[in-house]
Amino acid sequence: MPVTAETAAALARADEHSAHNYSPLPVVIESGAGAWVRGIDGVDYLDVLAGYSALNFGHAHPELLAIAHEQLGRLTLTSRAFQHDRFAAFCADVARLCGKDAVLPMNTGAEAVETGLKLARKWGYEVKGVRADCAEIITCSGNFHGRTIGIVGFSSDPDAREGFGPFPAGFPSVEYGSLDAMANAISADTVAVLVEPIQGEAGVLVPPDGYLAGVRRLCDDHGILMLADEIQSGLGRTGDTFACDHEGVVPDVYILGKALGGGIVPVSAVVADRDVMDVIGPGRHGSTFGGNALACAVGSGVVRLLETGEYQRRSRQLGEHLHGLLKELPPDRVTEVRGRGLWAGVQLAPGQPSARVICERLLARRVLAKDAHEGTIRIAPPLVITREELAWAVGQLADALVG
């Protein structure tokens, strides 16, 4: 499908005055509903990326839109200098969902990760008694937790790191999936471990069975915190509310984002019990927009959707269907399919075109997907997608692999 003149002109206008920090596929979207979006070229596309899980409930979910519209007409922002009438309910709702005591709301996922790191360090000094300015938080290779200076300092992706140093110290990195490596990295100065239950940006990497439970045991044995970055993996994506649930693991700190905003507004949160959260007092941390009224209203709506269990069930059942279809792709073109629930990383065989090229071919077939590094196609459709739409999308992928 050739790029229309209207699309090409819109892309050129954007290119002229925007920073070139993304290399998007050549499509310009003007509207969306459910799992489908429409381009300014008048073509409908099936979205199997879902904003990296930010759109777990699809585009323009009617219940969430109604909440947002009602709240927009009443109150959007007060800043945390004042209380508003949606704040208490939002905090109670998210705390209940996580089985924790307290919520510290922010806006973006990266902000939530930074908040979790600050919380862990403060806890390490005030509760664990680590030496001043010596706290360490163990991270994992292949991680993606955001793009702030602090976070990219412990990234192993050269594109994320190069040209941005020097970086803050205190974040030793170990091999993802290796409990031995993590155990060997723990020292008297260790206050926490930061882990993604499934690494999305690295290519939807699922750790070995028992890894998360092993991380939990190490943290318990050494008196340190387990921080679970569930920004992409949480809120129904993997077939449970949280990816940690698959191993019956409860971290000390949940880090949430993306789907918490229902695809409408940026909402993130750090969730912990009082014995951890209460080390943060007035003036220690905050955000002008964190916990704003519109965000709280939409976030509470998201919690209500998740508490029905419908979306976790859909992800679990449709995920089995998706992975079954993907495993039928020809082995000379696809060597591995990884993932859980409605989340998959399709690993291309050596010698195949790049994942970017395959995604461009999918675009021409009206399917929107995204590469994760050169050799992996990432598939994470909205949880409202149907079996028939999944089958059609995988059929288009099979066709795109051929040429």
Catalytic residues: 144, 229, 258
3-state SS, residue 297:
helix
* Residues 266, 107: Cα–Cα separation, whole Å: 5
Closest Cα partner for 25 from 264, 367, 395? 367
Phi first, then psi: give them for residue 148, nearest 5 degrees: -75, 165
SS3 185: helix
Token digits for 168?
């803050």
Q: What angle do CA 221, 152, 164 make, to 5 degrees?
A: 145
Q: In what order do the strands lie in the sheet with 136-140?
A: 102-106, 268-272, 253-256, 225-229, 190-195, 136-140, 173-174
Best CA proximity match to 355, nearest among 335, 339, 378, 338? 378
Find out whether 264 and 65 touch, Cβ atoms under 8 Å: yes
Q: How many residues does the chain have?
A: 403
Show the CA angle centred on residue 97, arms to residues 92 and 99, nearest 5°: 85
Cis peptide before 166 (omega within 30 of 0): yes
Distance of alpha carbon 215 from its chain centroid, rounded?
Answer: 20
CA angle 224, 229, 234 (to 5 degrees): 130
Residue appearing with tokens 């065989």: 349
